[in-house]
Amino acid sequence: MTVRRATPRLCHSDPSGAERRNPAQTRRAPGLWPDASTSLRSAQHDKEQMVDGAHPAAAGTSHPQAALEAATRGELPPEPRCSVHAKLEVVAGEAADYASLAAYHYRDERPTAIKAVFLLRPKRPLGSFGTQPAGVIVYGMPNPRVALRRVATNGLFAGLDRQTELALINRNVRCIARVIIEPRFRGIGLATRLVRETLARMETPIIEALAVCGAVNPFLERAGMTAFAPRADAYHAELIEALSAVGIEAGANDYSPLPIDANDLQQRIEALDGARAAFLERSVQRFLKSHGSRRTMPPGLDRTRYILTRLTNRPRYYLWRHPTLEVTWP
């Protein structure tokens, strides 16, 4: 069994503590990275860098009341900032640079058709961390089959034959394939910065992204991208209704209409009598019809796990338009 150790943060961006702490009294716990000989901020440095009495690590952070007011207006709350930002720069990288941070991403497969890589790298060595990348963003070629693209672009790619549509997409669209921040640098707005500072550097009219975690961590929206919520197609809605009709609902919590655990869902399916099982299987077949080779998956845990993933982890679509570059036709 792997035991995860708590990862020390580079700075404290929580206004509840950082804004109240006297920087002259700040001390680093022994043994925490970075080592004491190359501290990112000494107490004396903090004292010298204070602006109007504010701690540099708290500069740019929002008071809880400000965050509440922003939420009331339907806006994103201000993102925390940290003095570490000034010690990092965004530079062009190579596909091989992605490998150093790939293990920190939730997806195991390597991105394909990579067009550009950018890194967040220390300007000067940071203690034992050195100058290795603190973050990476990978841009690649877009998936040609993204339904929300037509909605987000006001039908720009609609009504075209397949060959023309593909040529138009390949000429004008690039996709954010990965954004990874090294765990010791998370929680201080670096993902937002990495996206914001590299969008225009792609010199492409349209940049898009698909993200499952977008509702929880809206860093793509903070970077200037527009979010479009996924829409359930008819077969998606029909399958959820079919599961409910045979008595499979009431998930692990009030926010999920389905059992979150695939084993639990499979056990419930196997417990159905003949008529209800046949009724559900017809809905499953209709649902899988548009899922390529998955449509021939035999009944069982693997298929149930795949279906559950498609029903619950539906990514949001994000779009950014270059302010000066127009879409050009092939």
- Give the helix ranges, DSSP H, for the chain: 15-18, 43-49, 64-72, 147-152, 162-172, 190-196, 219-222, 234-245, 262-270, 274-288, 301-312
pLDDT of amino acid 301:
93
Query: Is the separation of the CB atoms in 288 and 294 below 8 Å?
Result: yes
Asked whether residue 212 is assigned to any structural domain, the reply reads yes
Query: Do residues 226 and 255 both lie within one domain?
Result: no
Residue 107 lies in a domain: yes
10: Cβ contacts below 8 Å, ≥ 6 apart: 34, 40, 82, 84, 184, 185, 188
Amino acid at 255: Y
Residue 206: its pLDDT value, please?
A: 98
**Is residue 238 situated within a structural domain?**
yes
Q: Is 83 helix (H, G, I), strand (E, B) or coil?
A: helix
Question: Is residue 140 located within the same domain as residue 89?
Answer: yes
Statement to judge: residues 127 and 214 lie in one domain: yes
CA-angle at 305, arms to 302 and 306, nearest 5°: 90
Q: Would you say residue 4 lies in a domain?
A: no
- Considering the domain architecture, whether residues 143 and 180 belong to the same structural domain is answered as yes
Strand partners, 118: 92, 137
- Of 241, 230, 231, nearest in space to 286 by CA: 241
Q: Are residues 100 and 226 in the same domain?
A: yes
Range of the domain at 255: 234-312
**Model pLDDT for residues 94-118, shown as the tens digit of each residue:** 988 999 999 998 777 888 899 999 9
Confidence at residue 241, expressed as pLDDT on a 0 to 100 scale: 87
Dihedral sign for Cα atoms in the order 67, 70, 74, 78: negative
Per-residue pLDDT of the chain (330 residues; tens, 9 = 90+): 444 444 444 554 333 333 333 333 333 333 333 333 333 333 333 333 322 333 333 333 444 555 555 555 556 666 666 889 999 999 999 988 999 999 998 777 888 899 999 999 999 999 999 999 999 999 999 999 888 999 999 999 999 999 999 999 999 999 999 999 999 999 999 999 999 999 999 999 999 999 877 767 899 999 999 999 877 677 888 888 888 899 887 444 434 445 568 888 899 999 999 999 999 999 999 999 878 888 899 999 999 998 888 787 678 899 999 999 999 998
| Strands 173-181 vs 135-140: parallel, antiparallel or unpaired | antiparallel
Are 187 and 239 members of one domain? no
Which residue type is seen at 142? P
Q: Does residue 53 form part of some domain?
A: no
User: What's the one-letter identity of residue 53?
Assistant: G
Q: What is the pLDDT of residue 236?
A: 80
- CATH number, domain of 100, equals 3.40.630.30
How many angstroms separate the most distant Cα atoms in the chain? 76
What integer pLDDT is reported at residue 34 of this predicted model?
37
Measured over the CA atoms of residue 283, residue 285, residue 289 and residue 294, the dihedral's sign is positive
Are the C-beta atoms of residues 101 and 133 closer than 8 Å to each other? Answer: yes
* Bond from prior residue into 330 cis (ω within 30 degrees of 0): no
User: Looking at the structure, do residues 126 and 221 belong to the same domain, yes or no?
Assistant: yes
> In angstroms, rounded to a whole number, what is the distance separating the alpha carbons of residues 90 and 94?
13
- pLDDT, residue 177, reads 95
- Give the number of domains in the chain: 2
CA distances from 118 to 136, 193, 200, 244 (A): 6, 12, 12, 46
Q: What angle do CA 104, 108, 111 make, to 5 degrees?
A: 100
Question: Is residue 257 domain-shared with residue 184, that is, in the same domain?
Answer: no
In a domain, 57, yes or no: no
Are 266 and 159 in a shared domain? no
pTM score, two decimals?
0.63
- Are 186 and 128 contained in the same domain? yes
Whether residues 246 and 276 fall in one domain = yes
Q: Is residue 258 part of a domain?
A: yes
Report the first-to-last Cα separation within the chain, whole angstroms: 54
Predicted confidence (pLDDT) per residue in 35-82, tens digit? 333 333 333 333 333 223 333 333 334 445 555 555 555 566 666 668
CA distance 77 to 66: 8
Residue 3 domain-assigned?
Answer: no
Contacts of 80 by beta carbon, 8 Å cutoff, 6+ apart: 13, 14, 15, 60, 61, 62, 187, 188, 189
